[in-house]
Amino acid sequence: MEKMPYRQELDVHFPKRAVDPVVTTISTDWREGLPALTGSMVTLRELRASDAASLCALLTTEEVSRFISPPPTTVEGFERFIAWTARQRQAGAYACFAVTVDSTDTAIGIFQLRELEPGFGTAEWGFAIGSAYWGTGVFQDGAELMINFAFETVGVHRLEARAAVKNGRGNGALRKVGAVQEGLLRKSFQKDGEYLDQALWTILNEDWKPRQIWAAANGQLVH
Ligand SMILES: CC(C)(COP(=O)(O)OP(=O)(O)OC[C@H]1O[C@@H](n2cnc3c(N)ncnc32)[C@H](O)[C@@H]1OP(=O)(O)O)[C@@H](O)C(=O)NCCC(=O)NCCS
C-alpha cells in the first residue's frame, strides 16, 4: 500500500471490536498476537518497540520512501507507529509484520495488511524492505508468507495492492508474486506535492491456491 494507514493524527485508542462471525470460523487468534511465519529466508513476526531503531534507519532512506507515504522520521515516531500497529491488530482491522532474515532477529522491513471492508473479505497489503535486501529473494519469501496468512488465517478473499506507476520495483515485485493489474487509479496518490497515478494489483484466493499447488508440483518452494 503506497498510503501507509498510520498517521500521527489517527493515533488514538480504538475500543476492541466484536469478532466478525464469518471470520471466527477460520481463525481469530491473530488478533491476540501475530504468529511467527517462517519461510526459506525470512521470518515474519510481530513488531516490537525495540524494532524502532532498525526500521528508522532502513525505511527512512530516500530510495525506500520515495513512492510511499512518509514513514515516521524518528526512532520515537517508529515506537509510536509500532504501538499503534498493536492496537489496530487488537481491534481486528490491521496486521503488521516485521521482516527478519536468517538467524538474526533484526527488523529489516515490514509487511502490512488492512481490511478494506468489515470482515476482511477485501484487504490491502503493502511492504517496505531496507534497500540492502532488495533483489535478494527476501521480498518474495516474505510476500508468500504474507499472502498465505491473508488467505488462510485471516480469511481474505480479494487482496489489493496499489503501487505508484513510477515505482518500477514495487510494480515488478507485485507482478512476480502473481498479482494481476486491474487498472489505473489516476492521480490517486499525492507525494511531495505531486499527484501520481497508481496501478491497482489484485490476487484472489481462488487464483492463489492453484498457483501454490502448481508450484509444489513443479518442485518450487511453497510455504
Ligand atoms: C517493493 C520492495 C519491497 C520489493 O522488494 P525487492 O527486493 O526490490 O523486489 P524484487 O527484487 O524481489 O522484485 C522486484 C522485481 O521488479 C523488477 N524491477 C526492478 N526495477 C524495475 C523497473 N524499473 N521496472 C520494472 N520492473 C523492475 C526486478 O527486476 C524484480 O523482478 P525479477 O526478480 O523478476 O528480476 C522493495 O523494492 C521496497 O521496499 N521498495 C520501497 C518501498 C516500496 O516501494 N514499497 C512498495 C509499495 S507498493
Alpha-carbon distance of 128 to 88, in angstroms, equals 19
Rounded-to-10 torsion of CA 208, 88, 162, 23: 30
Residue nearest to atom 42 of ligand 1 (CA): 128
Å from CA of 139 to ligand 1 middle:
8
Q: Name which of 102-106, 188-192, 200-204 the model is least confident about.
A: 102-106
**Model confidence at 211, in pLDDT bands (50, 70, 90)?**
confident
- HSE-up of 62 (CA within 13 Å, CB side)? 1
Give, for ligand 1, the residue of 101, 160, 169, 185 to mutate: max count of ligand atoms closer than 8 Å to Cβ. Answer: 169
| Ligand 1 pocket, residues with Cβ under 6 angstroms | 2, 64, 67-68, 126-129, 134-135, 139-140, 161, 163, 167-173, 176
Radius of gyration of the chain (CA): 17
| Per-residue cell: 217 | 508440483
> What distance in angstroms lies between residue 63's CA and the mean position of ligand 1's atoms?
12
Residue 208 Cα to ligand 1 middle (Å): 20
24, 127, 199 from 90: Cα distances, Å: 14, 20, 30
**Ligand 1, atom 45: closest residue by C-alpha:** 128
pLDDT at 130 over 70: yes
Does residue 153 register a pLDDT over 50? yes
Minimum CA distance residue for ligand 1 atom 34: 176
Given a contact cutoff of 8 angstroms between Cβ atoms, the answer to whether 4 and 124 are in contact is no
Asked if 22 and 119 count as a contact pair (C-beta separation under 8 A), the reply is: yes
Report CA(170)–ligand 1 centroid distance (Å).
Answer: 5
- DSSP-derived 3-state class of residue 155: coil
What does residue 35 show for φ and ψ, rounded to 5 degrees?
-70, 160
Ligand 1 center from residue 15 Cα (angstroms):
37
The CA 173 to ligand 1 mean position distance, Å, reads 4
pLDDT exceeds 50 at position 16 = no
Write down the pLDDT at residue 11: 60
pLDDT in tens, 77-125: 999 999 999 999 999 999 999 999 988 999 999 999 999 999 999 999 9
pLDDT at position 26 over 60? no
The pLDDT score that the predictor gives to residue 10 is 55
Across residues 172-200, what is the average pLDDT?
97
Residue 113: burial class (beta carbons within 10 Å; 0-12, 13-18, 19+): buried
Judge whether residue 28 has pLDDT over 70.
no
